[in-house]
A and B are shown apart, each in its own frame.
Chain A
């Protein structure tokens, strides 16, 4: 600037430089802060995906299984001695293993649940009895993680879950192409199990479904009704002010306190059965209600008064104005708010712990009155399990949970973009 005839003193030039340096600092700090936040997000998602994706495939081992008639009664295939059959098949595959301890180690290659797989096969096809057939059986968790590379191979034997012998057996099976990995459907449709290789999220998904169904059925009409009254009909007085303050405060109450409420009111007072989806749904309903009310009120308030006045002008009653005109126009906003509220309810864990939806449940719940857990609670339960195989399952369950949340939020964003009207 000096060239244009401006004279800047040395002192002032130095100060200007300092001021601009401060400017750069502030900007750099801002960029740094955003980078940190985004970096942590990437780290979080990365660590979940890196740990979780192997759980979507599982390892199977093929054995020549002899369905001996003396071990299975064809009239009663449920009572067959399938554990014995698997043992025989394994010992037949490795005839040189004789020692008891070694044989026990050999058995550890196959999952403890494999006998139930055989039972299901025989039950669906009784003709199998008396035949010999090559059958793919689920491998144990240790074998599973080793084949997928989740456990290291090249460390000293003491630091491994599988001994050198077990590795040689596994390699010989592999060399004969008797080891394969398959997509793990059981993870999606099976329910919880004590054995990591058999555990699935089917039961938890069903529990979450029933819980959210109850939440939605109750919270949507109640929330929309309350919002319509407060926004469209309520007179401005102490009482409605009080209701409004109440709703705003409820939105900020910690979720665990809603769990205490559910425990004290629904379980102790109304004597509803513990750890069921109905209690979970009722509790989450109370928690989601403020979110839906606030979102609905915002959507109703965004409808311009001219619409209401025009409807009144042609003779509509107050209720007709709302149901015929305001509500349909506000619906996209209401749906968006509801979906976001439901997404929050889906990820909520703490209140469900309080009302006992935290049990080990093997049966997939078929109705809201059955004992159930929810997907996030299942994740919490697996996080508590000492077996290493559950870490992988837990991460995979998180991936599924996040996928649902992303779908729900994307739907909300889509609805907002597609149907939002700017007046």
Chain B
């Protein structure tokens, strides 16, 4: 609530600063307009407005990031040394209860008077902190207004200052992408390292058995918690292979036809329709695979006398193949069109038919682009989640039979992390280790695809 008030007030002060600065510069009755200002009045206005809002916002950001931690530290020091000496998890639970009590929610333990007192104190500290935030933020904004307003003068180079700030903001925006990458790597890496301190890397990468149910009691039977990821890798590869067997011929042949044979009208009509396939949400493909394709395949298998699992790799793979058709067809299309006209015409002039030109001249020339398209499609298939979660099974079986149920890396990540569980068990950490493997695999494929496309692209020009 204070936050909203503060933001609105900051906006109002900034707007006020803008108009005050403009008025001051435009003379406002002081008769100082003889000198032509260096910057346009708007820039002076922006200069003051930025001084009103930016310092406050920066302080606010840090405040919000660290408020919780500081309040906790204060509370713990207030509760006394015996509480501070509690092990980390116990302390966390206690603090959680105090927070919930202060917010008026139900808690897991009996609210004894000491706890109530602590909660009350926490609530009071929070109120004080929020009031301080509001007051401090407003004071900072007003101070900024006063200080910068005094600097507004015809000779003041407001435009340069404002442009420097804007450029700084733009640079920060472009660093978000880098921060995201670093965030992905760090978050996945840290949790994976914790996982590998429980399960060795060798067991994870080469173990043949995957059953992530760790025992709650040590004497429990049948829940040893095996984390051998090989069945997941083979399952992922099997489904990807099936997907590519569907997508590659369909995508490639339609790309060839559209680039070399189709009339412009057909091309303009068919291409956007094909691209709809890429825009359909994956959860819809999952629905299609689970409710339409899988039962149909099962029925067909029964007819042939084959035993098809109701969650077969074939159904998931085939539907995934349909999903990646547009990737292959539009990227291959681009590669085919990028082949220089002279090659095409040279071949036709020698008396080759159009199909001979395609097969013997254009496809070899476009091959790097087509290979890159396939690599990107494979990377897309490996990382695809919803289709396999909905249509592939969960049993980690080491098999190459497409009619059986297999599971994949992404499907296991979802099953490990959906639902309530503590963050520190080997089970949840395993999801991050799988995420690391997935991230590295797709990264390698993407880099390889870019390298191939770039290295061989311009050799005909």
Contacts and interface: CB of A to CB of B under 8 A. Distances in A.
Interface in B274-302: 274, 276-277, 279-288, 290-292
Contact of A257 (B276, B383, B418): B383
Nearest to B39: A317
Contacts of A317: 159, 163
A379 B287 contact: yes
A354 B353 contact: no
A33 B325 CA distance: 10
Given A257-B184, A319-B163, A225 B385 contact: no
A229 B173 contact: yes
Contact of A350 (B178, B325, B354, B410): B410
A23 B353 contact: yes
Interface stretch (A116-124, A157-165, A304-312, A391-399): A391-399
A69 interface: no
A115 to B, nearest CB: 27
A402 B438 contact: no
A247 B285 CA distance: 28
Contact of B385 (A22, A256, A383): A256
Nearest to B382: A254
B319 to A, nearest CB: 9
B187 to A, nearest CB: 3
A47 B169 contact: no
Interface stretch (B196-204, B216-224, B442-450): B442-450
Contacts of B379: 252, 254
Contacts of A380: 283, 286, 386, 389-390
Interface stretch (A34-42, A99-107, A147-155, A194-202): A34-42
Contact of B170 (A225, A290, A405): A225
B384 interface: yes
A250 B68 contact: no
Given A254-B410, A256-B438, A271 B446 contact: no
Interface string A320-352: 000000000000000000000001101111100
Interface magnitude class on chain A: 35 or more
Nearest to B257: A30
Nearest to B423: A268
Interface in A392-423: 394-395, 398, 401-402, 405, 409
Nearest to A347: B281
A67 to B, nearest CB: 36
B180 interface: yes
Given A29-B253, A33-B249, A349-B281, A383 B438 contact: no
Contact of A265 (B187, B380, B417): B187
A48 interface: yes
A243 to B, nearest CB: 6
B223 to A, nearest CB: 24
A37 B287 contact: no
Interface string B172-196: 1111111011011001101100000
Interface in B355-378: 355-356, 358-359, 376
B432 A264 contact: yes
B183 A41 contact: no
A233 B172 CA distance: 13
A248 interface: yes
A38 B188 contact: no
A35 B249 CA distance: 13
A140 B410 CA distance: 37
A247 B176 CA distance: 10
A41 B442 CA distance: 27
A179 B434 CA distance: 54
A255 B250 contact: no
A30 B174 CA distance: 43
Contacts of B253: 29-30, 32-33
Contacts of B174: 225-226, 229-230, 234, 243
B91 interface: no
A409 B170 contact: no
B247 to A, nearest CB: 10
A247 B177 contact: yes
Interface of B: 65, 68, 159, 163, 166-167, 169-178, 180-181, 183-184, 187-188, 190-191, 249-254, 256-258, 261-262, 270, 273-274, 276-277, 279-288, 290-292, 322, 325, 329, 353-356, 358-359, 376, 379-380, 382-386, 389-390, 410, 413-414, 417-418, 423, 431-432, 435, 438-439, 442-443, 446-447, 450
Given A26-B358, A260-B431, A264-B432, 10 more contacts: A26-B355, A33-B254, A254-B383, A258-B184, A260-B184, A270-B65, A318-B163, A346-B281, A376-B283, A402-B284
22 contacts: A26-B355, A30-B257, A44-B292, A44-B322, A48-B287, A222-B176, A223-B173, A229-B171, A243-B178, A246-B181, A252-B379, A252-B380, A254-B380, A257-B188, A260-B432, A318-B163, A343-B279, A349-B386, A350-B386, A350-B410, A380-B389, A398-B287
